């Protein structure tokens, strides 16, 4: 479980550049995942051995600056609620603006670490200009130039120093299933139906659950913790359906779980916001089960299920090996099937393939279909093993690993999935020098 750091500030002060710089170094190593990274406003970073999740709030507001005027307060309030520390970015070129003052007013009332970051200080004379930001009343500021990285070291030192220590609560080794999805998809209702009691107040107003709540669940021989992120937005003021809110609330629960039950509202479909939450879980290497809820409300004919499923699988390529269960929380239709599936995915995620069996299975497949030659050089793969990590990662040792391209990595991943059951679980394949 890592700390969450939010980057706030008005448009065009360089939030995204700073965000990219902070995750770049790490992203290149951690996320050489096939396909593109879908969500460019959330990433992991670390400094001096302390890991944290980084959220660029600016990435979530689409629209002109005047819309932003209304949105920025909500963003900052959400960041204040959800993040463990806040980087408030201002721009030395434009000096202190009215909007900066407004954000500073909100941030001064917070008892969480707030670092004032003065960006675009790329010349000595600008250091002098930066002093006017003392007027914001946030104390010490950190002059940086996010474009070339100067000053970011000192800022990061101060940031990790200020981050609270994360307690590792390992009281028992029960699997943790997080119920995630967009507001009003039926997350609380699903948990109520499973537990058989109205633990949460469920109404038709989006965003009624306040926090992620854990519930121990023991039925039909399954025992695990259910993590409810329902509600996702808890501020009564927040009426707009902004992607940012869903993502922000989901991050904590996803990072803290083993399997994510992604609840999709069948009447709304698998839209971009649901996809964002899906990729967030995939990027964190969690098991995933997609639950299509409110299936009782959909007009059906014989091919409806097939069509719907096909559509979802197109949206989640290349990671299509994910179970999809059609449920209705209202009529309790197939909700225990959903739990059985989640338990199976949890087992798949901790699936260990003995090295001898892995080599006996995979090497003949590789021999029949070797990696394509590159500039007349042939890649020979001699040995493979599963790495001792909490989720499935495999290392294949080769003479020229740098010549193995993404399509071949996907081919290997698909063969692993065919031979061993990793349904619902992201699998990572590495090629290394033998």
Contact criterion met (CB below 8 Å) for 323 and 294 = no
Asked whether residue 151 is marked as a ligand-binding residue, the answer is: no
Asked whether residue 149 is marked as a ligand-binding residue, the answer is: no
- β-partners of residue 181 are 263
Asked whether residue 188 is marked as a ligand-binding residue, the answer is: yes
Asked whether residue 112 is marked as a ligand-binding residue, the answer is: no
- What does the radius of gyration of the chain's CA atoms come to, in whole angstroms? 24
Asked whether residue 231 is marked as a ligand-binding residue, the answer is: yes
Asked whether residue 48 is marked as a ligand-binding residue, the answer is: no
Asked whether residue 59 is marked as a ligand-binding residue, the answer is: yes
Asked whether residue 183 is marked as a ligand-binding residue, the answer is: yes
Asked whether residue 104 is marked as a ligand-binding residue, the answer is: no
Asked whether residue 184 is marked as a ligand-binding residue, the answer is: yes
Asked whether residue 409 is marked as a ligand-binding residue, the answer is: no
Asked whether residue 122 is marked as a ligand-binding residue, the answer is: yes
Asked whether residue 332 is marked as a ligand-binding residue, the answer is: no
Asked whether residue 295 is marked as a ligand-binding residue, the answer is: yes
Asked whether residue 137 is marked as a ligand-binding residue, the answer is: no
Asked whether residue 49 is marked as a ligand-binding residue, the answer is: no
CA–CA dist 44, 25 (Å, integer): 10
Asked whether residue 37 is marked as a ligand-binding residue, the answer is: no
Asked whether residue 139 is marked as a ligand-binding residue, the answer is: no
Asked whether residue 182 is marked as a ligand-binding residue, the answer is: yes
Handedness of CA 421, 423, 425, 428 (dihedral sign): positive
Long-range contacts of the stretch 93-100 (C-beta < 8 A, 24+)? 93/120, 95/129, 95/132, 96/132, 96/133, 96/135, 96/136, 97/10, 99/10, 99/69, 99/72, 100/9, 100/10, 100/136
Contact criterion met (CB below 8 Å) for 409 and 395 = no
Asked whether residue 293 is marked as a ligand-binding residue, the answer is: yes
CA–CA dist 208, 232 (Å, integer): 8
Asked whether residue 228 is marked as a ligand-binding residue, the answer is: yes
Asked whether residue 9 is marked as a ligand-binding residue, the answer is: yes
Asked whether residue 250 is marked as a ligand-binding residue, the answer is: no
Q: Which residue ranges are tagged as binding site?
A: 9-16, 56-60, 119-122, 181-188, 228-232, 293-296
Q: Which residue ranges are tagged as binding site for GTP?
A: 9-16, 56-60, 119-122, 181-188, 228-232, 293-296
């Amino acid at each position: 479980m890592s700390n969450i750091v939010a980057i706030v500030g008005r448009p065009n002060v360089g939030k995204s550049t700073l965000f990219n710089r902070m995750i770049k170094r790490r992203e290149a190593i951690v996320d050489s995942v096939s396909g593109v990274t879908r969500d460019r406003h959330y990433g992991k970073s670390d400094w001096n051995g302390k890991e944290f999740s980084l959220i660029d709030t600016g990435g979530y507001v689409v629209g002109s600056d005047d819309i932003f005027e209304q949105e920025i307060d909500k963003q900052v309030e959400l960041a204040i609620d959800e993040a463990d520390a806040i980087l408030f970015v201002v721009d030395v070129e434009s000096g202190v603006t009215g909007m900066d003052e407004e954000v500073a007013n909100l941030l001064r009332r917070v008892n969480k670490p707030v670092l004032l970051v003065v960006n675009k200080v790329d010349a000595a004379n600008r250091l002098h200009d930066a002093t006017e930001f003392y007027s914001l009343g946030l104390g010490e500021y950190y002059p940086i130039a996010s474009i070339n990285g100067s000053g970011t070291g000192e800022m990061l030192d101060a940031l990790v120093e200020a981050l609270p220590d994360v307690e590792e609560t390992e009281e028992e080794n029960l699997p943790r299933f997080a119920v995630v999805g967009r507001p009003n998809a039926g997350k609380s209702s699903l948990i109520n139906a499973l537990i058989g009691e109205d633990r949460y107040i469920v109404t038709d107003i989006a965003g009624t659950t306040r926090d992620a709540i854990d519930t121990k669940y023991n039925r039909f021989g399954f025992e695990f913790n259910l993590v409810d992120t329902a509600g996702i937005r808890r501020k009564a003021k927040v009426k707009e359906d902004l992607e940012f809110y869903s993502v922000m609330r989901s991050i904590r629960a996803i990072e803290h779980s083993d399997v994510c039950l992604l609840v999709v509202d069948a009447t709304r479909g698998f839209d971009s916001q649901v996809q964002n939450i899906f990729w967030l879980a995939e990027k964190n290497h969690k098991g995933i089960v997609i639950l299509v809820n409110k299936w009782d409300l959909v007009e059906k004919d014989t091919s409806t299920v097939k069509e719907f499923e096909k559509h979802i699988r197109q949206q989640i390529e290349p990671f299509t090996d994910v179970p999809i269960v059609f449920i209705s929380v209202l009529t309790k239709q197939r909700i225990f099937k959903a739990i059985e599936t989640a338990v199976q995915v949890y087992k798949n995620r901790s699936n260990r393939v003995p090295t001898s069996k892995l080599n006996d299975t995979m090497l003949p497949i590789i021999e029949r279909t070797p990696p394509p030659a590159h500039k007349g050089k042939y890649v020979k793969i001699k040995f493979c093993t599963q790495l001792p990590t909490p989720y499935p990662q495999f290392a294949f040792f080769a003479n020229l690993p740098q010549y193995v391209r993404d399509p071949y990595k996907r081919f290997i991943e698909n063969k692993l999935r065919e031979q061993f059951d990793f349904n619902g679980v992201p699998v990572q394949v590495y090629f290394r020098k033998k």
